[in-house]
Amino acid sequence: MARVVVSVMPKPEILDPQGKAVHGALPRLGFTGITDVRQGKRFELEVEGELTEQRLAEIHDLAERLLSNPVIEDYTVTVEPGVVA
């Protein structure tokens, strides 16, 4: 059993209205010194059995086809340390 995290973020050149909204709210709440906020998605996948190279390749495929929109988003796949058992 392993936990794999897929992070999906808007590409740098793509406008991110959610992040902008959060950024705009900061001064009103008294937070200063944060120059930019971007908001994306985080998926935690619980993977059965051993995390082989083939399994990871499948998860990359899944991240690209189901979890992200490659036109406007970038994704990264990371294996959560300590959850592999």
* Residue 58 touching its own copies (CB under 8 A): yes
Confirm or reject binding of residue 44 to its own copies (CB under 8 A).
yes
Cα distance between residue 74 and residue 27, in whole Å? 29
Q: Does 49 bind its own copies (CB under 8 A)?
A: yes
Q: How many residues bind its own copies (CB under 8 A)?
A: 33
**Closer CB to its own copies, residue 38 or residue 79?**
38
Give every CB contact of residue 18 below 8 A, 6+ residues apart in sequence.
Answer: 39
Distance CA 77, CA 59 (A): 8
Residues in region 24-43 near its own copies by CB under 8 A: 25-26, 29, 31, 33-43
Q: How far is the CB of 85 from its own copies (least distance, A)?
A: 13
Non-local (6+) Cβ contacts of 27 within 8 A are: none
